[in-house]
C-alpha cells in the first residue's frame, strides 16, 4: 500500500502588518528595552555630568566629564571629603537657579560638626582641616556654626571663586543627587575622582 503524501514543511509567506512586525518587531522591542533601561539607570544608578565652572579647580577643571554614582548614598550617609553633585537648595533657587541645575562641591562638615573659617584655615570641631586639594586658602572668615541634622557644609576647592555653603548656608541631604565617582573626559585625566 502506498504511503500518504507528506505535507509540505515550508512556511506560508506573511503579508502586511504581520510581515512588518515579524521583521521589525524584534528590533523595536530591543530598542524599547534599551531606552527604558537607559532611563532607569540614569534616574537611579548613575549619570554623566559636565563641569561648567572653575569652582572645583584644581581637582576638576572646566570641561571635565564625570560619572555621578547615585546608589551608595541609599546605603550609607555622605562623608566629609567626598565630592558630591546636588540640586540647588532654597537660597539658590531664590537667586534664580533652577532645580534642574546641578552643583558640584566637596563635603567639608557633616551633621553635628562645628565649622569655621579663620585666617585662611577651615576648622572642623576646632581642629584645622588639612586640605592639599585647594587652589588657595580662603580669603574670608565664616562661622563658627554647628551643622544641623540632615545637612552638610560644602565648599568648592577653588575657595575664593565658589558659590558654596559659606555664602548660602547648609545643604539639605535631600538635595544630594550622588557623588562624583569617575572622570571619563578628558582622556589624559581619566580615572577616579
3-12, 43-52, 172-181: segment of lowest average pLDDT: 3-12
Whether residue 27 lies inside any domain: the answer is no
Whether residue 34 lies inside any domain: the answer is no
Structural domains of the chain, count: 1
Residues 160, 167: Cα–Cα separation, whole Å: 11
Whether residue 12 lies inside any domain: the answer is no
Whether residue 4 lies inside any domain: the answer is no
Whether residue 124 lies inside any domain: the answer is yes
Higher per-residue confidence, 168 vs 38: 168
| C-alpha distances out from residue 75 to 70, 72, 170, 182, Å | 10, 5, 22, 19
Whether residue 41 lies inside any domain: the answer is no
In 3D, which of 136, 89, 127 has the Cα closest to residue 108? 127
b/e per residue, 24-55, with b = 16+ CB within 10 A? eeeeeeeeeeeeeeeeeeeeeebbebebebbb
Note if 53 is an active site residue: no
pLDDT at 22: 67
Residues 189, 193: Cα–Cα separation, whole Å: 10
Structural domain boundaries, residue 126: 47-192
pLDDT at 168: 97
Note if 87 is an active site residue: no
Mean pLDDT in residue range 99-105: 93
Whether residue 2 lies inside any domain: the answer is no
pLDDT at 14: 58
User: 55, 87, 162, 165: which one is catalytic?
Assistant: 55
User: 70, 87, 105, 162: which one is catalytic?
Assistant: 105
**Percent of the chain clearing pLDDT 70 (strictly above):** 88
Whether residue 18 lies inside any domain: the answer is no
Q: What is the CATH number of the domain that holds 88?
A: 2.10.109.10
Amino acid at each position: 500500500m502506498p504511503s500518504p503524501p507528506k505535507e509540505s514543511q515550508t512556511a506560508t509567506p506573511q503579508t502586511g502588518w504581520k510581515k512588518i512586525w515579524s521583521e521589525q518587531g524584534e528590533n523595536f522591542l530591543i530598542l524599547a528595552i534599551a531606552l527604558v533601561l537607559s532611563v532607569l539607570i540614569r534616574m537611579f544608578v548613575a549619570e554623566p555630568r559636565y563641569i561648567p565652572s572653575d569652582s572645583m579647580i584644581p581637582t576638576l577643571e572646566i570641561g571635565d566629564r564625570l560619572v555621578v554614582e547615585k546608589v551608595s548614598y541609599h546605603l550609607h550617609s555622605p562623608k566629609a571629603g567626598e565630592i558630591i553633585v546636588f540640586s540647588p537648595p532654597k537660597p539658590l533657587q531664590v537667586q534664580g537657579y533652577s532645580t534642574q541645575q546641578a552643583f558640584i562641591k566637596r563635603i567639608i562638615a557633616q551633621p553635628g560638626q562645628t565649622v569655621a573659617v579663620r585666617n585662611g584655615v577651615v576648622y572642623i570641631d576646632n581642629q584645622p582641616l588639612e586640605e592639599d586639594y585647594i587652589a588657595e586658602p580662603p580669603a574670608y572668615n565664616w562661622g563658627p556654626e554647628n551643622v544641623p541634622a540632615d545637612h552638610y557644609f560644602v565648599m568648592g576647592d577653588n575657595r575664593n571663586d565658589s558659590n558654596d555653603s559659606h555664602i548660602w548656608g547648609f545643604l539639605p541631604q535631600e538635595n544630594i543627587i550622588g557623588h562624583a565617582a569617575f572622570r571619563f573626559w578628558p582622556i589624559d585625566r581619566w580615572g577616579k575622582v
